[in-house]
Amino acid sequence: MDTESYVLPVREVIRETADACSIAFDLTDEAAGKFDYKPGQFLTLAVPSEQTGLVARCYSLSSSPVSDQPLTVTVKRTVDGYASNWLCDNLKAGDTLRVLPPSGIFTPASLDVDLLLFAGGSGVTPIISIARTALANGTGKIVVFYANRDQDSVIFAEEWARLSAENPDRLIVVHWLESVQGLPTQDQLKAFAATFSTYTSFCCGPAPFMKAVSTALRELEFPRERRHQEKFVSLGGNPFGDVEEIRAAEADLAAADDADEPADDGPSFGPVKVEVELDGEDWTFEDWDGKKLLLDFLEEKGVPAPFSCREGNCSACACVVLEGDLSMKHNEVLDKADLDDGIRLTCQAQAQSETLKISFNG
Ligand code: FES
């Protein structure tokens, strides 16, 4: 995974509903090979802003990496949301946007298992990417529960109908309209999911919807490794700044902090040995002080570790701890079950052991 941004031309802006549009990108020669992705991942876009220069926002890819579709994200307007409204109102074919390569861990480990996919509103974006990809390259059955406010809010309505017609033995799509049935309750979701208790679930949507689905699946004793949720939080920071400048500023701040409070920031033990797996490559370092944030240390060593917000808000930098342990200075995105599974945010991580083995391979 790459950590540099690229300027991509907009091929097309497609109006999906009154509130949602899809943005299809062309790849430049410079970006070719940098935007390979897995279904369920997201892009971070730099949206121009008169006030701040730009705002960074993550949007899930709706296209499938195994089709000939261009790289496409789908954006839904949020009330008073500057970036989503700017994109839907202003962007047009031929414009360019600065974009970070794909990131995220909301992606199936195998496309050959049976999938139970829950989507609420624009949470359908990564869900349709997973469904499209699994239908094209996988062998399992796919059941989609897609909740919306009303018929007009349904994104990809024709596409879902087409996919269902083309794959009658593999795909079932259930549309749930709040205007007709009310909000789906936890008991209703549980009754629905009970039939598919051996499937692997993925859920993306508004927080109350995800909570209801998650509780229903827990009550049905779906094991943790078969329950996946996209935890999307808007970025507070700006990942498009010059990495060297950011690092220098952080180093200055850290030095100033050290001068004030020399003994109160992280572990006190000596050099930490850290082994890293990323995209089929392995690295071993023996000189991490354990105190510098792990993402910063890895970048200094030339490891192309993924990141986006650098603030503990997005999970783009998440790794799995295989040996040893890491603490985090800040975490807005991982829940207890994630932590129990050894997932940590490297942009916030300091050592809790003298040896450590981590993997970015999910
Ligand atoms: Fe966003 Fe670490 S880069 S949580």
Instruction: Determine the Cα–Cα distance for residues 307 and 158; give it in Å rounded to an integer.
Output: 35
Domain residue extents for the chain: 6-102, 115-229, 264-359
Interior angle at CA 300, CA 251 and CA 237, nearest 5:
55
pTM as predicted: 0.73
Element (H, E) at 220: none
307 CB within 6 A, ligand 1: yes
Q: Which of 145, 90, 105, 91 is closest to 121 using CA atoms? A: 145
- Tell the CATH superfamily of the 6-102 domain: Translation factors (2.40.30.10)
The tally of CA atoms less than 13 A away on the side-chain side of residue 8 is 29
- Tell the CATH superfamily of the 264-359 domain: Beta-grasp domain (3.10.20.30)
310 CB within 6 A, ligand 1: yes
CA of 317 to the centre of ligand 1 (A): 5
pLDDT in tens, the chain (362 residues): 445 789 999 999 999 999 999 999 999 999 999 999 999 999 989 888 877 677 788 899 999 999 999 999 999 988 777 889 999 999 999 999 999 888 887 899 999 999 999 999 999 999 999 999 999 999 999 999 999 999 999 999 999 999 999 999 999 999 999 999 999 999 999 999 999 999 999 999 887 888 889 899 999 999 988 998 886 544 445 565 544 443 444 454 345 434 433 334 555 566 999 999 987 889 999 999 999 999 999 999 988 888 877 888 778 888 999 999 999 998 877 877 778 888 999 999 999 999 999 998 65
Dihedrals phi, psi of 210, to nearest 5 degrees: -65, -35
Between 124-137 and 157-166, two packed helices, what is the crossing angle to 10 degrees?
A: 20
Helices (H), the chain: 82-90, 124-137, 157-166, 178-181, 186-194, 207-219, 243-260, 294-300, 336-340
Q: Name residues whose C-beta falls within 8 Å of residue 255's C-beta, 6 or more positions apart in sequence.
A: none
CA of 308 to the centre of ligand 1 (A): 5
Between 186-194 and 207-219, two packed helices, what is the crossing angle to 10 degrees?
A: 50
CATH hierarchy code of domain 115-229: 3.40.50.80
